[in-house]
Amino acid sequence: MGGMEKEGEEGECEMRYNVPQGEEFEINTIILDLNGTLSVNGKIPAGAKERIRKLQRLGFRVILFSGDQRGTAGKICSNLGIELRLTPTGREKEREMLKLDFKKCASIGNARIDLGTFKHAKLSIITLQAEGIHARAIEHADIIVPSINDALDLFLNPDSLCATLRE
């Protein structure tokens, strides 16, 4: 049975997934990339903000790792109420990732710069949106979805996530 449960004190919640015929694991942090992932051609798709709010209410920590190509990352993060780590290169993304409990992190991205987080994340998700994906990112992906909202929905509907991961 797939499922998700909250545990522990507020702010220390852990989301546990039991994949049928697969493993049990926990995700408590979602790392987002900005361009081509959270934003498409500079715009945040409708519905993404509400989904992020719901995830935060469930106890997920949401952090944006961005090279800030358009200089808008700070404003976007304060608007969405999420943390920002300025990471101009894939190596910087990797360095920031390794400061976290990365075995409980999911990374959502699309580009070559995201290899830094995809290499270590428990779960790597690619969003196949208008800005495209880097071919090498596919090697590290566990799941590929059409949009950022679909990616966030996997954590709001744990049965869908488990259904995609089960053997």
User: Which residues contribute to the site for Mg ion (CB under 5 A)?
Assistant: 33, 35-37, 110-111
Residue 158 Cβ vs Mg ion, minimum distance, rounded to whole Å: 26
Q: Which is nearer to Mg ion, 35 or 107 (CB)?
A: 35
Residue nearer to Mg ion on the CB measure, 90 or 158: 90
Cβ nearer to Mg ion, comparing 69 with 164: 69
- Cα–Cα dist 90/44, whole Å: 22
- Pair 38, 62: CB distance under 8 Å: no
**Chain centroid, CA 167 distance in Å:** 22
How many Å separate Cα 135 from the centre of its chain?
19
Choose between 2 and 45: whose C-beta lies nearer to Mg ion: 45
End-to-end CA distance of the chain: 13
**Please, what is the minimum distance in Å from the beta carbon of residue 134 to Mg ion?**
9
Rounded to 5 degrees, what are φ and ψ at 62? -115, 125
Please identify, using beta-carbon distances, which residue of 110 and 117 lies nearer to Mg ion: 110
Query: Least distance to Mg ion from the beta carbon of 36, Å?
Result: 4
Enclosing H/E stretch for 115: helix 115-118
User: Of 155, 158, 164, 136, whose CA–CA distance to 31 is shortest?
Assistant: 155
Min dist. Cβ of residue 46 to Mg ion (A): 19
Residue 120 makes CB contacts below 8 A (sequence gap 6+) with: 94, 97, 98, 102, 105
Q: Amino acid letter at 135?
A: A
Least separation, in Å, of the C-beta of 7 and Mg ion? 32
